[in-house]
A = this chain, B = another copy of it.
Amino acid sequence: MAGNSFGQLFRLTTYGESHGLSIGGIIDGCPAGVAIDLDAVQHELNRRKPGQSAIVTQRKEPDTVEIQSGVFEGKTTGTPIGFVIKNTNQKSKDYSHIKDSYRPSHADFVYDKKYGFRDYRGGGRSSARETASRVVAGAFAKQFLGDVKINAFVSQVGEMQLNKPYQDLDFSNIESNPVRCPDAEMAKKMEAYIKTIKKEGDTVGGVITCVAQNVPIGLGEPVFDKLHADLGKAMLSINAVKGFEYGSGFAGVRMKGSEHNDAFNSDGTTKTNRSGGVQGGISNGMDIYFNVAFKPVATVLQGYETIDKAGQTIKTQGKGRHDPCVVPRAVPIVEAMTALVLADHTLLSRTNKI
């Protein structure tokens, strides 16, 4: 398997299956001299952790990050930052329903075809547990980025869509409810809906909106590595993501150029921001905002038919503790991936001019 590294200069490489000794990673390229608050790193990881509320999986995993290297006397040294998160919840379970059969819309089938066999315990490498390492690295990236503010929140669960512009929302409310929706009223509705879905043994999809503010002008490489293209890839690399749009997005298709264009103020800011903070692939100093679509979690706790390795139809049932809706816990992951992209392009942008 290739593709376990992300970023060109600020670069994360991860390892780990859900049932090995640990998961973890290495951050290479973080500049020396960044003051690191390790509690803030653990705090980000806690935001992603299972068992935080009634609407997420009830698994208990302490998810404690142990920094192995690269931080000395409270600052990054410039050397690679190795980190380990031990797997402590790997009880010897009954995996017979997974081992020899393929769950619909999971990676089981394609892993077997691609690699010849697979570590079937808990989904192995395809488990979303892998994203914990992204959150750790994102926490370092955030601290490197300093004044850049990144806020992600849940803007849709199933049919329930928050139809307010982000400017009308108070981001300080995001963490006030288990859904991570900054609108209190909508948050309650979403929470109630997720509980209903959970009772049905079913799951539902959602949308996360992310806003990055105070991003300096000039991040992004204008042809293949456009800033929004790297953001898009970052988001699409998160488990269960099906779509990405930034600025005016899919709705912008319906507009005319004369409506869509963002007129300039005399200071170079723009009166509107349909561009979503990126023009020609380069940040223009306006807010960067985008939406990320997540499909409903594939593991449903209902009976279903599927096939085994021999192609025989079998009846089976989802087991264990799973998220009825992935978006609340995915909020810190979206933020982390955003931070990684911005950190990487911040370093790249130091090489633009003589």
A-B residue pairs, 7 tightest by C-beta: A107-B280, A3-B221, A3-B225, A15-B82, A243-B245, A203-B257, A32-B115
Residue A50 interfacial (CB < 8 Å)? no
A25 within 8 A of B: yes
Q: Are A352 and B32 in contact (CB under 8 A)?
A: yes
Q: Are A77 and B253 in contact (CB under 8 A)?
A: no
Distance in Å: Cβ of A323 to nearest Cβ of chain B: 10
User: B236 touching A311 by the CB < 8 A rule?
Assistant: no
Chain B residues within 8 Å of A119, by CB: 72, 77, 79
Contact (A250, B16) CB under 8 Å given A2-B29, A24-B68: no
The total of chain A residues at the interface (CB under 8 A) is: 152
Cα A77 to Cα B78 in complex, Å, equals: 31
Given known A-B contacts A22-B68, A78-B115, A250 and B242 have beta carbons under 8 A apart: yes
Q: List 7 A-B contacts (CB under 8 A).
A: A5-B224, A22-B82, A78-B352, A104-B262, A110-B282, A114-B218, A228-B236
Return the chain B residue nearest A253 by Cβ. Answer: B205
At the interface, yes or no: A75 with Cβ under 8 Å from chain B?
yes
**CA A201 to CA B354, docked complex, whole Å:** 40
